[in-house]
Structure 1
Amino acid sequence: MEFIDIPHDIKVFGHQVLTFPNGVGEAFDAIVERVEGGFSRPFYGLARMEGNSVIYMAAAIEKFSEEGKQLGYEEYVIQKGKYAAITITDWHSKLSSLPGIFSQLMKMEGLDPEHWAVEWYKDDDEMVCMLRMKDEVFN
């Protein structure tokens, strides 16, 4: 486990996967097809609990202001701060292990439950699972 400092808010856009966990791949494929440069930019999976359900958003980093709006997507913000993180390589073959990885991260003291759980798809091989820490943990 490591800590990653995100120095500024990250603007992303995307849409909710209503059939989570089914349909996640298709949701990302749809965004990749619509954005300039395809998978040449970082993509994100954002998740949080609402009651007993997982709300999951497939998202891409915004390359220019209001790109998501122009493409008809919702806009979200991954807030700056420190994140507990676990990096995974060859993530395509390890998707079934993601719940266990996030369970491991959720055992950390000082997590901020008000923020999204984040899957940062850096490229086609490397992905980072992240949970935001409370600001006072590092101050």
Structure 2
Amino acid sequence: METTTLQNDLLVYCVTASSFPEGVKQAHETLHSLTPFDEKRKYFGLSWPAADGRILYQAAAAELHQGEFSKHHLETKVISKGEYLFIDVHDFMKDIPAIGNAFQQLIHDSRIDPAGFCIEWYKGMDVCRCMVRIAS
């Protein structure tokens, strides 16, 4: 487990999964269908617990060019600047459960922000950075 600092808030545009984990792939596919893939774009998965115990999940991405996602009237969220705990999962497509295992380690750390959410930051095609915000 390591720490990193996001220097600025990051506005992302979201597609909500119909369910978790079953609807996650479809949410990402829908998001990717709205604008051409670009390796410079920041892609994320955001998740948090609902009041009824379900996990809510959104596929998310940042705009590279103003208006490319906002024209689709998607929900937005802000990934807040600050300190984050993270675990990088390499070759995640070969071991999807490793992402869940990483978050199980992260969410049990006493330093995390209880109002935050779990963030999957897809850093290229082979690394998923699993992150949770540290309480300020």
Superposition TM-score, scaled by structure 2 size: 0.91
2:54 corresponds in structure 1 to 53
5 Å-filtered alignment, 1:1-139, equals: 1-36=1-36, 38-40=37-39, 41-51=41-51, 52-135=53-136
Match of 2:57, SS?
A: strand
Superimposed CA distance per residue, residues 67-89 of structure 1 (whole angstroms, 9 cap, x where no aligned partner): 43212311111000100000011
Superimposed CA distance per residue, residues 21-75 of structure 1 (whole angstroms, 9 cap, x where no aligned partner): 1121121122112213x15222100011112111111111122445432123111
- Number of aligned pairs? 134
Q: CA RMSD in A?
A: 1.4
Aligned counterparts of 1:108 and 1:120: Cα–Cα separation in 2: 19
Superposition TM-score, scaled by structure 1 size: 0.89
Paired AA for residue 11 in structure 1: L
Gaps of 5+ in 2: none
Paired AA for residue 87 in structure 2: I
Contact 2:47-2:58 at 8 Å conserved across structures: yes
The percentage of counterpart residues that share the same residue type is 29
Greater share of helix residues, 1 or 2? 1
Gaps of 5+ in 1: none
Aligned counterparts of 1:15 and 1:71: Cα–Cα separation in 2: 10
